[in-house]
Structure 1
Amino acid sequence: MMCFPDFPYPDDYPNFMHHSKIQEYIEAFAQKKNLLRYIRFETLVSSIKKCPSFRVTGQWEVVSEKNGKQESTTFDAVMICSGHHVYPNLPSDSFPGLDKFQGHYLHSRDYKGPEAFKGKRVLVIGLGNSACDIAVELSHLATQVIISTRSGSWVMSRLWDDGCPWDMVYVTRFANLLWNVLPSFVSDWLYVKKMNTWFKHENYGLMPLNGTLRNEPVFNDELPSRILCGTVSIKPGVKAFTETSAVFEDGTVFEAIDFVVFATGYNYAYPYLDDSIIQNRNKELYLFKGIFPPLMEKPTLAVIGLVQSLGAAIPTADQQARWAVKVFTNSCTLPTPKEMMDDIDKKMEKKLKWFGQSQTLQTDYVTYMDELGSFIGAKPNIPWLLLTDPQLALEVYFGPCTPYQFRLMGPGKWDGARKAIMTQWDRTVKPMRTRAVSEAHRPQPFYDLLKMLLFPLLLLSVLLLFY
């Protein structure tokens, strides 16, 4: 689900890889595509400014620095690909008394391993993926670990139906259609029911304040069992720190704290770019489809990777970059500034409904990928596939929305895309079947979804009889 769309992972790689495997894969991709000669490592970009002739040429002056020497270069276009995990957010001002705390505190970015925390009492602030990973790892060595969370979160397992990777089952075109067309009370009921299939979140102190919002869940297979065993405890937000303890919003106190780990996320900023270039309204970057500044005289700047969804980052960035290049080379034309601004406002309203906070970077993965694919002619044409290749069409629609789907047709078409899609479950199962005892079981997401929908559809039918 996370590979480049024309470069599948080796079939002996595990489904959820160690970061060293990801690095091996990216290096192999760079070598295969002969990209290393275009990369300038250990080089700082100091500034990006419009050239004096920008209104005519759309060119940029980029000042870079390496080994203390600066160099200015003119480029026809610029992509900003630094993502949104850039500057650690350490909200020390939000916690009264932290300046008097005598223990140690650090941001999760500076956490490198559990050894220094052996036998210590640790408070982890936050309930995202980093917070949960750190708390679970520390719980094997630390004396006590407490997680403090203001809002709670859904916690999901990587293993879903029949032990399949969650995203291979959940991120499908059919499931995406259901979430978008079902009445909100039905989709909300289904969402909460699915999230509570593994364990009841309210019993573990993890229940989100607004459980129906589609905020990004946490993926951690160990956290519930660590809570069940008492090695990790969940507490509400911290009201204040003393010299040695933390006072929580419910009045309870965690005494004799040795370490506080702030897993409080990141901020993003562009210090090398003038603020007027990327319009910012109410601390929100205004970008068409999360990529293009809508008020540029020439569309020669794109922001890549500044979105977040229940989908993989690599194929998303790949799709964004493909579109950006076509705009840069005048193969695609952007809408008018007004049309782009109207689209941004419309998307913001939808984000408020689904995710509850307007500044979120979250977006719906399948819908977003299809939007970008439509601009470059790479969106799969399901009716056409149904007429010409029914087996492939069913796999594309009901199966996982793997990146290969966006190389089936249009510019950048890859001849191996069909085979990659038709064999994707074989490659998923292979690294696990190191002891083959019978034929591998392939999931049937279509039938599983039908069974899951049976009750709410019956309920809806009964309700309609009374109107």
Structure 2
Amino acid sequence: MAKKVVVIGAGVSGLISLKCCVDEGLEPTCFERTEDIGGLWRFKENVEDGRASIYKSVITNTSKEMSCFSDFPMPEDFPNFLHNSKLLEYFRIFAKKFDLLKYIQFQTTVLTVKKHPDFPSSGQWEVVTQSNGKEQSAVFDAVMVCSGHHIQPHIPLKSFPGIERFKGQYFHSRQYKHPIGFEGKRILVIGIGNSASDIASELSKNAAQVFISTRNGSWVMSRISEDGYPWDMVFHTRFKSMLRNILPRMILKWMMEQQINHWFNHENYGLEPKNKYLMKEPILNDDLPSRLLYGAIKVKSRVTELTETSAIFEDGTVEEDIDVIVFATGYTFSFPFLEEPLVKVEHNMVSLYKYMFPPHLEKSTLACMGLIQPLGSIFPTVELQARWATRVFKGLCSLPSEKAMMKDIIKRSEKRTDLFGESLSQILQTNYVDYLDELALEIGAKPDFIALLLKDPKLAIKLYFGPCNSYQYRLVGPGQWEGARSAILTQKQRILKPLKTRSVKPSSNLPTSFLLKILGLLVVFMAFFSQLH
């Protein structure tokens, strides 16, 4: 059984991995190359090699109730979507509450992680680190890789003929920090992800003109959904997840298209995806449509050529006097400390069992945490990954054979391609609720809805029709938390608390959402009893 565990990185994945190790009675040591916790979410004015980088204005795309750790709700007065500094504050509170800092060795870089000579029998790893110019070596029973995948920028310059002639400034979005210095400029942003739309929207407030160049377009969603609630608390319910799984694909995609276009018609704004029937991750941006409406941003097709001062696009149009090009073109995976390519990307597929375990190891004592892109919050996802990984290390959970794992990896990749497409940006994409349930099932923490319906119908209805957040996975099984039921039933007051800063007389109208839940419950009952007969 593994006892000593090395955790590489003290970002979100590293912090929750530490807690899960402690919860399981393991002895963790975390190596963090910088001087503080927070990883990606700790803003710094300067870009540092080997460290994730964000711009100063970054706000979370997932709400606080859907992003908090399962036994540690965020404070009531925290806003529903958090500025990066506020999220970092939550991580500091979390680390202090569970006394995690004592396990972290700061300003310590992991140089190599390689198998111990007797790895086939022991499963141990030799880890070489460097701190203050001195190298040290230690042996660990297990490894949790928590260094993230937003470090190595992907800039496909070969795809932009003429870039060497361009006289203006160009850089990857990783370098962007704030709009100061870009006033009055004509700026071209290449890409259509969350960073691209955030940066374009922010720059457009003071730039002369901003252009967004996109190959395929994208759906755009607001953080605000039905009745003003956060989008993910409406979208990610077990009931809606069930519908998405059983409805014919064409009907489902038609319904989603109608829903997304209800905010604004994407075709009219030049944003409609080229293959709109792929369920690619939408952009979360509340400003972009307005900025397009103002004319401050213009959507352009793919860049085919650059000259000294202009950009030529696929449709033959030309934009002159471009001052700045921002490449919001994503990241590549990089784990330079691993001795051999344990994390392989071949045939547009990541060879990790359930996005975590290399299948070919004689002993399953290494896990990659957070190397995934769920259609939802990464934080509860990583937490369930860490809960499972630590139990695998202890021998309480076992993995199938290498052959079975490879079969699962291939099948999962085929399903992902069918749902999300073959783009490299979608290589880590997965369905949110399905994946959470899959991990919870491995550790025995998935709630039994039917049993709960008989025992605690009020809670069961909340579980099925309400937001599928992390508290649900603390109701049963190992790591059960006595506050889970209360957290589920009181989440609405934590959503409304930061909003209700002015007293308003409550309305007496019965909400439509309540009537829909009753109707949905009847459908579930009918489906359940029809299966019995």
Alignment deviations for residues 384-409 of structure 1 (CA, whole Å, 9 cap, x no partner): 11111100000001000111001111
Structure 2 residue aligned with 1:437: 504
Structure 2 residue aligned with 1:246: 311
3-state DSSP of counterpart to 2:390: helix
Measured in 2, the distance between the counterparts of 1:221 and 1:254 equals: 26
Could you tell me which amino acid in structure 2 is paired with residue 63 of structure 1?
V
Distance 1:213 1:449, change over 3 A: farther
Report if the CA contact (8 A) 1:351-1:358 is conserved.
no
Q: Which segments of 5 or more consecutive residues in structure 1 lack a partner in the other structure?
A: 453-467
Report if the CA contact (8 A) 1:51-1:59 is conserved.
yes
| 1:234-313 → structure 2 map (5 Å cutoff) | 234-282=299-347, 284-313=349-378
3-state DSSP of counterpart to 2:105: coil
Instruction: Identify which of 490, 499, 522 aligns with 1:423.
Output: 490
Distance 1:161 1:442, change over 3 A: farther
* CA displacement at 1:381 relative to structure 2: 1.0
Instruction: Identify which of 30, 36, 41 aligns with 2:101.
Output: 36
Instruction: Identify which of 397, 413, 437 aligns with 1:332.
Output: 397
Instruction: Report whether the alignment pairs 1:117 with 2:169.
Output: no
Measured in 2, the distance between the counterparts of 1:387 and 1:310 equals: 31
Report if the CA contact (8 A) 1:348-1:358 is conserved.
no
Structure 1 residue aligned with 2:76: 11
Measured in 2, the distance between the counterparts of 1:2 and 1:397 equals: 18
Distance 1:96 1:451, change over 3 A: farther
Measured in 2, the distance between the counterparts of 1:242 and 1:341 equals: 47
Measured in 1, the distance between the counterparts of 2:499 and 2:290 equals: 23
Alignment deviations for residues 182-217 of structure 1 (CA, whole Å, 9 cap, x no partner): 111211111111111100000000000011111010
Which of structure 1's runs of 4+ aligned residues deviate more than 4 A?
440-452
3-state DSSP of counterpart to 2:339: coil
Structure 2 residue aligned with 1:323: 388
Instruction: Report whether the alignment pairs 1:61 with 2:126.
Output: yes
Could you tell me which amino acid in structure 1 is paired with residue 440 of structure 2?
G
Alignment deviations for residues 86-126 of structure 1 (CA, whole Å, 9 cap, x no partner): 21111111100001100001111111111110111111111
Report if the CA contact (8 A) 2:190-2:325 is conserved.
yes
Instruction: Identify which of 72, 75, 99 aligns with 2:137.
Output: 72
Instruction: Report whether the alignment pairs 1:82 with 2:147.
Output: yes
Report if the CA contact (8 A) 1:176-1:366 is conserved.
yes
Measured in 1, the distance between the counterparts of 2:457 and 2:518 equals: 20
Report if the CA contact (8 A) 1:398-1:446 is conserved.
no
Measured in 2, the distance between the counterparts of 1:214 and 1:442 equals: 33
Q: Which segments of 5 or more consecutive residues in structure 2 lack a partner in the other structure?
A: 1-65, 521-533
CA RMSD of aligned residues (A): 1.7
Instruction: Identify which of 386, 400, 407 aligns with 1:342.
Output: 407
Alignment deviations for residues 228-257 of structure 1 (CA, whole Å, 9 cap, x no partner): 111110000101100011111111111111
3-state DSSP of counterpart to 1:431: coil
Report if the CA contact (8 A) 1:172-1:400 is conserved.
yes
Alignment deviations for residues 257-280 of structure 1 (CA, whole Å, 9 cap, x no partner): 111111111111211113343344
* CA displacement at 1:221 relative to structure 2: 0.6
Could you tell me which amino acid in structure 2 is paired with residue 17 of structure 1?
L
Measured in 1, the distance between the counterparts of 2:137 and 2:512 equals: 56
3-state DSSP of counterpart to 2:92: helix
* TM-score for the superposition, normalised by structure 2: 0.83
Could you tell me which amino acid in structure 2 is paired with residue 311 of structure 1?
G
Identity %: 54
Structure 2 residue aligned with 1:394: 461
* TM-score for the superposition, normalised by structure 1: 0.94
3-state DSSP of counterpart to 1:21: helix
* CA displacement at 1:447 relative to structure 2: 4.4
Distance 1:214 1:283, change over 3 A: closer
Instruction: Identify which of 3, 6, 20 aligns with 2:85.
Output: 20
Instruction: Report whether the alignment pairs 1:141 with 2:210.
Output: no
